[in-house]
Amino acid sequence: MGTRSVTRFWEWGRKIICVGRNFAEHAKELKNELPTEPVLFLKPPTAYVKEGSEILVPHYSSDLHHEVELGVVLGKAGREIPLSSAMEHVAGYALCLDMTARDVQDKCKAKGLPWTLAKAFDTSCPVSDFIPKERIPDPARVELWLKVNGVTRQRGSTAHMIFSVPYLISYISGVMALEEGDLILTGTPKGVGAVHEHDEIQAGIDDVISMTFKVSRRASITQ
Ligand SMILES: O=C(O)/C=C/C(=O)CC(=O)C(=O)O
Ligand SMILES: [Mg+2]
């Protein structure tokens, strides 16, 4: 077997750590308070989907939302990583979607339950190809956009993140060990909304990368 490369991080089976409510305008559009420390949740590696495969609406949801986000790919493991050296742990980036079953999330929130059903289903984490670190000299100056069927839904700069990429790496590594091949989704700007079967989602980072996914519906599981 050849040596594996972090440039194909989605094949490593490592964890996907997501940050929520990291843009004030998005927190406001969902009527959430601004966080005083990062809001974290996880997706399993089975959530990954690459261009050429479809995003599947879970059979238990009728309100699947898009959330375009900057993903940070870890190149070096660490625990309790100091803020000053956090960026040394970054191998590169990826354009990511945090697909969210909003109706299910709303029910979970109302009952005080975890968001697993809403956020961690198969195909809930579409990702672009690996973006080498040099292509994004400053993760606080990344212009994200997302269109559905050619209509712009989201456009936002990572300059508006509440918690910066180095802060997130340092904070998360104080909660759980970070490993090579892990991916951190850093939160979405405003403009999230529903997608339906047969829709086409295009997303991009200005001057860096773009990707396209079709939406399909997952057949319900028959016992
Ligand atoms: O609290 C809510 O209603 C929703 C929060 C999210 O879905 C958080 C994110 O995933 C995000 O802000 O990117
Ligand atoms: Mg999100």
57-62: average pLDDT? 97
Domains annotated on the chain, with CATH: 6-217 (3.90.850.10)
pLDDT digits (tens, 9 = 90+) for 119-164: 999 999 999 999 999 999 999 999 999 999 999 999 999 999 999 9
Answer yes or no: is the C-beta of 46 below 6 A from any ligand 1 atom. Answer: no
Report whether residue 20 contacts ligand 1, using a CB cutoff of 6 Å.
Answer: yes
Tell me which residue has its CA closest to atom 8 in ligand 1: 20
Q: What is the ipTM of this complex?
A: 0.98
pLDDT in tens, 162-206: 999 999 999 999 999 999 999 999 999 999 999 999 999 999 999
3-state secondary structure the chain: CCCCCHHHHHHCCCCEEEEECCEHHHHHHCCCCCCCCCEEEEECHHHEEECCCCEEECCCCCCEEECEEEEEEECCCECCCCHHHHHHHEEEEEEEECCEEHHHHHHHHHHCCCCHHHHCCCCCEEECCCEEHHHCCCCCCCEEEEEECCEEEEEEEHHHECCCHHHHHHHHHCCCCECCCCEEECCCCCCCEEECCCCEEEEEECCCEEEEEEEEECCCCCC
pLDDT (tens digit, 9 = 90+) per residue, 72-125? 999 999 999 999 999 999 999 999 999 999 999 999 999 999 999 999 999 999
- Residue 12 CA to ligand 2 centre (angstroms): 22
Q: Which residue CA neighbors atom 7 of ligand 1 most closely?
A: 20
Average pLDDT over residues 60-72: 98
Please check the confidence at residue 1 and state whether its pLDDT lies above 60.
Answer: no
